[in-house]
Structure 1
């Protein structure tokens, strides 16, 4: 399955990219599995997408959690929580 990835704010800065198209292995079928899969890319990815890190995720511009299923052509975004002040 091919998906679109988007990274925003400090996540984008840590990873050095704002977007990419990715072909996923068949076993990567949820947002949580995708997050885990991306952490395998190396140290920057592991730190930016760490399990305990405050991070928001969206799938097709709807807030998502780890169990949200992925589908062909979907857009998944990772971004830090927004705070005001």
Structure 2
């Protein structure tokens, strides 16, 4: 199992701030594909992904127990 965290607009699209999913092995790219298939309204054009609170590339491995965060660009003023 891995723990997914959604921020800003992604949280609103998913209808939740986080969820756990069954996961055995794969990469960040695999997780992004899963999320894109599950939440078709997600816009991943500028989303950054963090694994265990570290920004990572799509080739980074994701293992059971990891925390994966999808972080879209945000602005403030």
Give the TM interval when normalised to the shorter protein.
Answer: 0.7 to 0.9
In structure 1, the residue matched to 2:72 is 80
Residues 1:48 and 2:9 aligned together: no
Mind listing any 5+ residue stretches in structure 2 that lack a counterpart? none
Measure, in 2, the Cα distance between the counterparts of 1:82 and 1:66.
Answer: 21
Counterparts of 1:49 and 1:74, CA distance in 2: 23
Q: Which has the higher strand share?
A: 2
Structure 1, residues 12-56: CA drift from partner, whole Å, max 9, x if none?
0111110011102x4x50011111012222xxx123154xx1111
The answer to whether the 8 Å contact 1:29/1:69 transfers is yes
Distance 1:33 1:49, change over 3 A: farther
User: Superposed, which structure 2 residues align to 1:3-82 within 5 Å?
Assistant: 3-24=2-23, 26=24, 29-41=26-38, 45-50=39-44, 53-82=45-74
CA RMSD of aligned residues (A): 1.7
